[in-house]
Structure formats: structure tokens, C-alpha cells
């Protein structure tokens, strides 16, 4: 089977799923989560991190870029048929722009101890070793290669656009567009504290908050300005992807009741931002309030809606976050958080209790089904007066037992 035939086959399957009445039902569930009429808790399983959810032997395209596109399509199709969650499939296929960002004046090198793929542990060689090095850090520059981007768009539309229309927009913060596989396109994630970690490392973050707070503040100002400048540049260059119909963070879709733009252009003040500081989870709430939240506020106020948090603990700092961060619509309640306290804090609120269940219980060889069930039931009790959802992330291994994802999803929907 040649690449064209393979992709057209997948495009037909994609469109068949997108046309199902079930998609509009799910769309209404997500709209209800985000300000419309609340229908029920949403459930989503993220498969991006899962080893061999799409196996290499299933990828038939010979061209490297098209094989990445094939993986994107096949991952979505397999997800729909194997996991009965609230996955959304739209009757269009988006690719991101080819965008280049310079470094921060210093090189950040990523390394993997085993040198194997993107599913193993990794770290960074942090370029800022001492306070003096911090003065080398500067804002990045940005550029878009429209020629390459439009060639890809034209090629894909020629291959299968008559079946599944291909459009262009957005930016994937994790995967290069040249690989074709860009599952995080449209996720406008802050990365401010992540870039701080990449530059100076966790040890220096902890020590310099005490010994050199002026250096932390200097770097946070640069990184915040860099983030805001980048997305304002994207807006000006008309590169944004409307993430009100695209999942903006691990599993939370941004569907709104009214997603129209009067001008026809996508503006930042109508978009979702994924604002988090998980690198600061071990920093005291007081230090978070002083050194982090004011800068995250500057990123969030540029956007229209805020999803706050990732894996960090939130119950001990939520009051500060709520006071400082604007446009809050959803908050991540991770396994490190006290769900009972968060249930009280979000009671009768329009802010979504976005629960991230403990993935380890499902990732081991023999899943801990009773613990998984208890986690779901406890969440439902804690969040009984809230809008809430279950977002299963960071499951890396299922030992070939694909049925366990379906079983967990049905458990989540049954509580």
C-alpha cells in the first residue's frame, strides 16, 4: 500500500467518526464544563505518553513526515474505538506552522541517560551555573517559515484533503512540525518556570530564592516577557489556532458556548492559556506568591480563559492562585493535592475541578483496581458540589493489556 492510499484510508475513517451524533453529544459535555449547562463529568484518557499505543508495525507510510501524520490519525482512530471516553474528533485536520525560536543567549541541552526514544527519563545540562551567568540570558527571537508550512499544507490537501480538509494554525511546544506528529498543537502553555528550571536547575532555584532573589526575579521577568512576546507575535502574524475546539491541556477541551470571532481572526483574548508552575510544587506558598504568581498573572491576563496547574500540589496555594490569576475556568487537582480541601474550595463554583487520578495504579503489571475505584469514588464525593472531570495522564506502560484503559474509563463514567 502506498502512502497516498494509506492516508486516504485513514482520512475516511476519521471523517466517519467525526460525523457521528456522539461527537455533538460530547461537544455539549465539554461546553457544559466550560460555562454552559453542566451535563455530567467529562472523562478523558491521554494516550500520547503511552508506549506503543500505536505500534511501529502499524505505521505503513514510507515517508518520515507522512508517517508522523499517519501516527496522528491512527492514534485518534484507535483511541475512539478502544477507549469510550470523551475524545473529540472534528471534521478537519490541523498542522502547525513551522516556527523557529532562537535560544535565550545560552544553549540548553537535553539528554537521555539511555538514549532511547521519547518515553524514557531525560534531563538538561543547565547553562546558568552561577549568578553571573544569568546576565547572559536574553529574550528569544521568532520567525515563521511560511513557504515550508504552506508546501506541507498543499501536499496533505492533495493527498487526502478532498476527504478530510487539512488546515494550518498553531504551534506545538513539544514536537517539531517536521516530524508530522504534533499532538500538542494549540496548547498555549506558559513554560515560564519550566524554562527557569531548564536554565538554572532545581538546586539553584531552591538556593537562589534565598541567596540571590534578585537573580530569580530578573530571570522570571525575561521569561515572562518572552512568553507574552511570542504569543503576541503569533497573534500579529495570524498564526494562532483557535483552541476553543482543541484540547488545550492534557485532556481538557476548550469548547465554549460561543466560539465565534467577529473579525474572523483568532485573538489571544478569546483563547485558553495553560498556566502552571509544577516545578515550584516544593516551594512554599508564600514564596510562590512573591516570586511566581505575579509573573504568571502577566501571562494569563493576555488570554481569555485560564486552565491552571499540572502535577503540582494545589490545595495549599489555591487561595493565592485564585486571588492573583485572572480568568480562571479550570484547575488541575493532581495526586499530590488534598481532594477534600479542593472540593470545599471549589464548592458551588464555576471553576472546573479537573482531577488527575493516580496513574501508577494503572501502569503496573497487575493494576490495583480497588485503589483505582476508591480514587474515583473519593473524587466524586469530594467534588459532589463542583463541576468535575477525570483526566487520566502519565500512563506510560500497560504491558500489552489494552483492555485496562477501557475498563478504567467505564469505571470513571459509572461513579
pLDDT digits (tens, 9 = 90+) for 74-101: 999 999 999 999 999 999 999 999 999 9
pLDDT at 80: 98
What mean pLDDT do residues 228-249 have? Answer: 92
Secondary structure of residue 129 in the 3-state scheme? coil
pLDDT for 261 = 63
For residue 130, give Cα distances in angstroms to 32, 48, 96, 110: 49, 36, 37, 19
At residue 122, the pLDDT reads 84
Q: Give me the half-sphere count of Cα atoms (radius 13 Å) on the Cβ side of residue 204.
A: 20
The answer for residues whose C-beta is within 8 angstroms of residue 207's C-beta and 6 or more apart is none
The average confidence (pLDDT) of the chain is 95
pLDDT at 48 over 70: yes
Comparing 79 with 264, the larger pLDDT belongs to 79
pLDDT exceeds 90 at position 120: no
pLDDT tens column, 136-169? 999 999 999 999 999 999 999 999 999 999 999 9
- What are the Cα distances from residue 273, in Å, to 214, 235, 246, 292, 349? 27, 14, 12, 16, 20
Q: Is the pLDDT of residue 39 over 70?
A: yes
pLDDT tens-digit map of 240-259: 999 998 777 778 999 998 76
For 276-303, the pLDDT digits (tens) are 999 999 999 999 999 999 999 999 999 9
- CA-nearest of 384, 386, 387, 360 to 371 is 360
- Nearest one of 153, 199, 190, 191 to 272, comparing CA atoms: 190
Q: Which residue has the higher pLDDT, 124 or 247?
A: 124
DSSP code string of 151-191 = HHHHHHHHHHTTTS-EEE----SSS-GGGS--TTTT--B--
| Contact call for residues 272 and 303 (beta carbons, < 8 A) | yes
Pairing assessment for the beta strands 142-144 and 99-101 based on DSSP bridges: antiparallel
Distance CA 41, CA 402 (A): 23
Q: Which domains does the chain have, with CATH numbers?
A: 3-414 (3.20.20.210)
Amino acid at each position: 500500500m502506498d502512502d497516498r492510499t494509506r492516508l486516504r484510508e485513514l482520512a475516511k475513517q476519521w471523517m466517519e467518526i467525526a460525523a457521528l451524533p456522539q461527537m455533538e453529544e460530547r461537544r455539549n459535555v465539554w461546553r457544559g464544563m466550560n460555562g454552559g449547562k453542566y451535563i455530567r463529568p467529562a472523562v478523558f484518557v491521554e494516550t500520547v505518553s503511552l508506549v506503543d499505543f500505536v505500534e511501529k508495525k502499524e505505521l505503513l507510510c514510507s515517508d518520515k513526515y507522512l508517517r508522523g501524520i499517519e501516527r496522528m490519525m491512527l492514534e485518534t482512530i484507535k483511541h475512539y474505538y478502544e477507549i469510550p471516553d470523551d475524545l473529540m474528533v472534528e471534521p478537519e485536520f490541523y498542522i502547525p506552522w513551522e516556527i523557529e525560536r532562537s535560544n535565550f543567549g545560552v544553549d540548553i541541552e537535553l539528554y537521555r541517560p539511555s538514549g532511547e526514544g521519547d518515553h524514557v527519563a531525560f534531563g538538561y545540562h543547565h547553562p546558568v551555573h552561577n549568578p553571573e551567568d544569568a546576565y547572559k540570558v536574553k529574550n528569544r527571537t521568532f520567525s515563521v517559515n511560511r513557504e515550508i508550512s504552506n508546501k506541507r499544507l498543499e501536499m496533505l490537501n492533495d493527498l487526502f484533503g478532498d476527504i478530510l480538509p487539512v488546515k494550518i494554525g498553531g504551534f506545538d511546544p513539544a514536537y517539531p512540525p517536521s516530524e508530522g506528529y504534533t499532538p500538542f498543537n494549540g496548547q498555549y502553555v506558559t513554560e515560564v518556570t519550566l524554562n527557569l528550571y531548564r536554565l538554572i536547575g532545581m538546586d539553584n532555584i531552591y538556593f537562589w530564592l534565598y541567596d540571590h532573589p534578585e537573580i530569580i526575579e530578573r530571570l522570571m521577568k525575561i521569561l515572562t516577557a518572552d512568553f507574552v512576546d511570542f504569543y503576541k507575535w503569533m497573534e500579529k502574524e495570524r498564526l494562532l489556532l483557535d483552541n476553543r475546539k482543541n484540547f488545550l491541556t492534557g485532556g481538557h477541551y476548550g469548547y465554549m458556548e460561543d466560539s465565534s470571532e467577529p473579525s474572523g481572526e483568532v485573538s489571544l483574548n478569546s483563547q485558553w492559556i495553560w498556566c502552571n508552575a509544577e516545578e515550584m510544587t516544593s516551594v512554599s506558598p508564600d514564596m510562590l506568591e512573591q516570586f511566581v504568581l505575579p509573573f504568571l498573572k502577566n501571562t494569563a491576563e493576555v488570554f481569555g480563559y485560564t486552565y491552571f496547574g499540572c502535577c503540582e500540589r494545589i490545595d495549599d496555594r489555591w487561595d493565592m492562585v485564585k486571588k492573583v490569576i485572572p480568568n480562571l475556568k479550570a484547575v488541575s487537582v493532581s495526586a499530590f493535592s488534598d481532594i477534600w480541601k479542593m472540593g470545599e474550595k471549589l464548592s458551588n463554583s464555576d471553576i472546573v475541578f479537573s482531577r488527575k487520578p493516580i496513574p501508577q495504579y494503572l501502569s503496573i503489571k497487575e493494576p490495583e483496581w480497588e485503589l483505582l475505584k476508591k480514587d474515583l469514588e473519593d473524587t466524586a464525593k469530594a467534588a459532589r458540589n463542583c463541576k468535575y472531570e477525570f483526566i487520566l495522564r502519565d500512563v506510560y506502560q500497560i504491558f500489552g493489556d489494552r483492555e485496562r484503559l477501557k475498563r478504567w474509563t467505564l469505571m470513571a463514567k459509572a461513579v
